Amino acid sequence: MNKFNLNSLIRENILNLVPYISARTEHQKEKKSIFLDANENSFGAPLSFLNSYNRYPDPLQKELKKKISDFKNVSPSQIFLGNGSDEIIDLVYRIFSRPEVDHVIIFPPTYGMYEVSGKIHGVDVIKIFLTKENYQLNLDKIEKFVNPNSKILFICSPNNPTGNDIKREDIENITKKFTGIVVLDEAYIDFSKQKSLSMEIEKFPNLIIIQTLSKSWGLAGLRIGIAIASEAIIQWMNKVKHPYNISMVSQKMAIKALENRDLFFFHLKNIILEREYLQKSLKKIPIIQKVYPSSANFLLAKINFSSKNLYQYLMKKKIVVRDRSKIILCDNCLRITVGTHEENEYLIDQIQKYSIQKIKM
């Protein structure tokens, strides 16, 4: 990757973009000033506890980035925050891929948003399936499909919905070889024994790592996605994003949460313990053909009979899991999120009951 030239990958309309400069970008520092620059309501909100919300939020989320930077040991200049990871996926498409001209490559079965976002942008999505045996990358096939219009390659590790880590060596080798942008989605990395590649960002100028506060941090409702990449890539993302993409409420709440590391680690440990418990218990149930190894906070389980029937049975028992049986290489598979101990026990109990019924039939 010696000849990597970021600007040559960026769409021309983006290269020539003069970004919108918000009032708050220019005059952030002087907190005591009288702010008459952004057409906000100086009288305040109609509820006194909402009064600080009469101002626009920090467009670059500096305080929150500092907290994330301390936790993850990456420089704030290498961090971008999106309104959920989905905003980050959308931005990567907007910056790098030309509709009707370029294509991206994905590795199904994987997270659905990569393809949906491609369709929204009018960019072709080439699918190279993971290997059937262990859901790993099919390296030989990738090379056959890559050409100069291959702009983005999406790898998800640990992968959703299969739960396994993609071999780190494969990710590194592909990233070195690929001449476009590699997006490595690490939404579930905190549940894995595998280390994040975020420490190696200096080695890979074409790598964008996606993480999120939605899973291990338990903050899905705040909508905070994290991108970690070279400062040059982050600057392009900042230019293209909507000026105030993360609300003030979300920024404030996330800062508070990040100050509470002890409980974060406690929950993380418990989720991993519960995952092992659920794995062991499910494997003992006769109608469960296979529970795949998981490095995430969910399990993929293959059912001997129709997974749809079990799905509907569980629905009636007020348990909602995800039927993934229509997805390639996941026939008769349910994806089950790890719950609390009580939730998991109830789930196991219900599946056992269903299993007994089925076997009698």
Ligand X SMILES: *Cc1c(COP(=O)(O)O)cnc(C)c1O
* Interface residue list for ligand X (CB under 6 A): 84-86, 111, 156, 160, 185, 187, 212, 214-215, 220, 225
Shortest distance in whole angstroms from residue 99 CB to ligand X: 23
Shortest distance in whole angstroms from residue 289 CB to ligand X: 24
Q: Between 59 and 225, name the residue whose CB sits nearer to ligand X.
A: 225
Q: Between 110 and 150, name the residue whose CB sits nearer to ligand X.
A: 110
How far apart (Å, rounded) are the C-alpha atoms in residues 214 and 340? 17
Shortest distance in whole angstroms from residue 137 CB to ligand X: 16
> Which distant-in-sequence residues (6+ apart) come within 8 Å of 344 by Cβ?
274, 277, 278, 281, 338
Query: SS3 for 298?
Result: strand
CB-neighbour burial class of residue 191 (10 A; exposed 0-12, middle 13-18, buried 19+): buried
Shortest distance in whole angstroms from residue 245 CB to ligand X: 12
How far apart (Å, rounded) are the C-alpha atoms in residues 204 and 292? 31
Q: The tokens 């196991």 sit on which residue? A: 348
Q: Which two tokens stand for residue 219?
A: 């903050």
Shortest distance in whole angstroms from residue 242 CB to ligand X: 15
Shortest distance in whole angstroms from residue 83 CB to ligand X: 8
Shortest distance in whole angstroms from residue 162 CB to ligand X: 11
Q: Between 23 and 219, name the residue whose CB sits nearer to ligand X.
A: 219
**Is 95:87 a contact under the CB 8 Å cutoff?**
no
Q: Between 224 and 351, name the residue whose CB sits nearer to ligand X.
A: 224
Q: Between 81 and 287, name the residue whose CB sits nearer to ligand X.
A: 81
Cis, bond preceding 286 (omega within 30 deg of 0): no
Residue 145: CB atoms within 10 Å: 13
Residue closest to ligand X (Cβ): 84
**Is 275:297 a contact under the CB 8 Å cutoff?**
yes
Strands (E), the chain: 79-82, 103-106, 124-127, 150-156, 181-185, 207-212, 225-228, 288-291, 298-303, 322-323, 333-337
Amino acid 145 reads F
Shortest distance in whole angstroms from residue 159 CB to ligand X: 8
Q: Between 102 and 186, name the residue whose CB sits nearer to ligand X.
A: 186
Q: Between 156 and 271, name the residue whose CB sits nearer to ligand X.
A: 156
In this structure, the strands spanning 150-156 and 124-127 are unpaired
Q: Between 97 and 117, name the residue whose CB sits nearer to ligand X.
A: 117
How far apart (Å, rounded) are the C-alpha atoms in residues 162 and 290? 12
Q: Which two tokens stand for residue 240?
A: 């293209």
Shortest distance in whole angstroms from residue 80 CB to ligand X: 13
**Is 88:82 a contact under the CB 8 Å cutoff?**
yes
CB-neighbour burial class of residue 132 (10 A; exposed 0-12, middle 13-18, buried 19+): exposed
Q: Between 84 and 118, name the residue whose CB sits nearer to ligand X.
A: 84
